[in-house]
Amino acid sequence: MPRFIAIQAPENGVRLITLQRPEALNALCTELLAELAAELAAADADEHTRAVVITGSRKAFAAGADIREMAERDLVGILDDPRVAHWQRIAAFAKPLIAAVNGYALGGGCELVMCADIVIAGDDARFGQPEINLGIIPGAGGTQRLLRAVGKPLAMQMVLGGEAITARHALQAGLISEITQPELTVERALQVARGIAAKAPLAVRLAKEAVLKAGDLDLASGLRFERHAFTLLAGTADRAEGIRAFQEKRPAHFKGC
């Protein structure tokens, strides 16, 4: 049984993971990260899970790393840090990951948000990378993914200045995809997830991979990847079903093959 996360199993193919470490505003201690990585690996392997929503509490999505834990680690300890592997597994999750963010998403919490594909936030959410205030820097993608998400000047202001930004600012900058009432954040994220879960799974998987490539590759290579993925899908039964259903003006029934 995981200690720091709660899981609601697939309803309509959607799994909901709730970070649950209220005494520390869901600070991402190593054990929590390990549980999350393991749970995402299990969701990846489970054919009934088509999309995952991850959320925290009303007050905090995740307010950073566990500072006490970090303080105990010296240079050698950081070289051997097991967290790196957990983060890699989280970022490698192949199915759609939707973050439902209320309250603080700071430091590791903000980096976790950036591992998600889609981000729905309550209108009083706050995003930031305050590591600089402690004499350290973001260590789980903050300096890299933030620049890709919001552009250099704002990324620099957040990483060097350490001040959090509002949900409105985050939406305007492209860090998140939608703002909603805080009480409805999880519900809206589940709704989006259910929509995705009803699509053709192979198409969803390749579409996610293709969009992520756009952040990593030059345009020509990205377009080549997209073309390959597009071609791969030509052989699937779901493609034939999707097109036929459209022509016959009825909902499609996808089988994942």
Partner 1 sequence: MTFEHILFSIEDGVALLSLNRPEQLNSFNTQMHLEVREALKQVRQSKDVRVLLLTGEGRGFCAGQDLSDRNVAPGAEMPDLGVSIEQFYNPLVRTLRDLPLPVICAVNGVAAGAGANIPLACDLVLAARSANFIQAFCKIGLVPDSGGTWLLPRLVGMARAKALAMLGERLSAEQAERWGLIHQVVDDAELRDQALALARHLASQPTYGLALIKRSLNASFDNGFDQQLELERDLQRLAGRSEDYREGVSAFMNKRTPAFKGR
Which residues contribute to the site for partner 1 (CB under 8 A)? 180-181, 183-184
From the CB of 172, what's the least distance to partner 1, in Å? 13
d(CA 226, CA 233): 11
Nearer to partner 1, 65 or 179 (CB): 179
Of 128, 114, 123, the C-alpha closest to 54 is 114
Task: Given the residues 51, 100, 131, 139, select the one marked as catalytic.
Answer: 131
**Minimum CB distance to partner 1, residue 244 (Å):** 34
Other beta carbons within 10 angstroms of residue 254's beta carbon come to 21
**Active-site residue flag, 183:** no
Residues 116/149, Cβ–Cβ less than 8 Å: no
Whichever of 65 and 192 has its CB closer to partner 1, that residue is 192
Helix, strand, or coil here: 169? helix
- Whether 101 and 58 have beta carbons less than 8 Å apart is answered as no
Q: Which of these, 95, 94, 39, 53, lies nearest to 193 by C-alpha position?
A: 53
Tokens 């001040």 belong to 163
Instruction: For partner 1, give the closer residue by CB, 129 or 180.
Output: 180
- Which residue in the block uniquely carries the two structure tokens 């600070």? 27
Active site residue 100: no
Per the annotation, the verdict on 111 as an active-site residue is yes
Nearest approach, Cβ of 230 to partner 1 (angstroms)? 34
Nearer to partner 1 (CB atom), residue 25 or residue 52: 25
| 111, 122, 198, 200: the active-site residue | 111
In angstroms, give the least distance from the CB of 167 to partner 1. Answer: 13
- 37 is known as an active-site residue: no
Min CB(180)–partner 1 separation in Å: 7
Q: Catalytic pick from 43, 65, 99, 125?
A: 65
Which of 130, 48, 160 is closest to 95 using CA atoms? 48
Instruction: Give the nearer residue to partner 1 in terms of CB position, either 82 or 161.
Output: 161
Cα torsion 206, 35, 140, 152: sign: positive
Q: Within its chain, how far is the Cα of 251 from the centroid? A: 29
CA gap 102, 185 in Å, rounded: 7
- Main-chain phi, psi angles of 114, to 5 degrees: -75, -10
| Residues identified as active-site | 65, 108, 111, 131
